[in-house]
Amino acid sequence: MPDQLIKICGLSTPETINAAVEAGASHIGFIHFEKSPRHLSLDDAARLRRHIPSGVKLVLVTVAMQPEPLERAINAIKPDVLQFHGGETAQWIKLVKQMIGIECWKSFGLRDKDTFVEAKTFDGIADRLLFDAPAHELPGGNGLAFQWDLLDSWEPFMPWALAGGLNPDNVAEAIQRTGAPLVDASSGLETEPGVKSIEKIEAFCKAALAA
């Protein structure tokens, strides 16, 4: 696996999954959140999951799901990683990890330096922090970037990722400026909400791997 990790999020067809894998993505994100244009039902997600080869991790993105539906989703989709993209607490993620033993990521909408204080409470609990733009119309996947300068005072104490408005044109600069070990993109790789472009996926991965 190359040093630069790449998550292509919100995929919903075998063709775009294959393109992301071929282009060097380390992680594929599926959205299970009904308000999102990228939402996948459990059946569709389970069917698409078969197109992800071992060695590439499936990240299931959920937003403040209740325990029983979350358990059903995990059993149906069998993700490698759970990305918590709502107001989930450290206590809740700790419980999920204890019960299921799965890799867990916690996302944060980065507004100011106080976010890093909140993020610290997930140290030793979450496996990775994902810094994204603050919630807008959706909790994530809004195609909005935040001020990368905010990360100047970030002293990584655990694995992390950068998201929010990344696209083929800005990802190299984002990596160079922030040193993000993992970059995550969704809207910037689409032709319309929920419709990914194979060309944009390829260009994004190429630019990220060359940065």
CB of 82 to ligand LARABZUK, least distance (A): 12
Cβ pair 26, 1 in contact under 8 A: yes
For ligand LARABZUK, give the closer residue by CB, 39 or 94: 39
All residues at 6 or more sequence positions from 141 whose CB lies less than 8 Å from its CB, including other chains = 9, 10, 31, 36, 38, 186, 187
DSSP 8-state code for residue 39: B
Residue 81 engages ligand LARABZUK in binding (rule: CB under 6 A): no
**Interacting residue with ligand LARABZUK among 6, 151, 188, 208 (CB under 6 A):** 188
Instruction: Give the nearest distance from C-beta 166 to ligand LARABZUK in angstroms.
Output: 6
163 binds ligand LARABZUK (CB under 6 A): yes
Q: Supply 76's token pair.
A: 């149906």
Q: Which is nearer to ligand LARABZUK, 136 or 155 (CB)?
A: 136
Stretch that binds ligand LARABZUK, among 11-19, 29-37, 42-50, 70-78 (CB under 6 A): 29-37
Based on the shown chain and the rule CB under 6 A, indicate whether residue 143 belongs to the binding site for ligand LARABZUK: yes
Q: Which of 33, 34, 26, 46 is nearest to 184 (CA)?
A: 26
Angle, vertex CA 86, rays to CA 107 and CA 204, nearest 5: 45
Q: Is 129 in the site for ligand LARABZUK (CB under 6 A)?
A: no
Interface stretch with ligand LARABZUK, choices 66-74, 87-95, 147-155, 158-166 (CB under 6 A): 158-166
The length of the chain, given as a count of residues: 211
33 binds ligand LARABZUK (CB under 6 A): yes
Contact positions with ligand LARABZUK (CB under 6 A) in 55-74: 61, 63
**Residue 143 or 168 with smaller CB distance to ligand LARABZUK:** 143
101 near 74, Cβ under 8 Å?
Answer: no
Helix, strand and coil in the chain, % to nearest 5 = 35, 20, 40
For 128, the enclosing helix (H) or strand (E) is strand 128-132
26 touching ligand LARABZUK, by CB under 6 A? no
Distance CA(22)–CA(17), nearest Å, equals: 9
DSSP strand pairing (182-185 vs 5-9)? parallel
Residue numbers at the binding site for ligand LARABZUK (CB under 6 A):
9-10, 29, 31, 33, 36, 38, 61, 63, 85, 132, 138-144, 163-166, 184-188
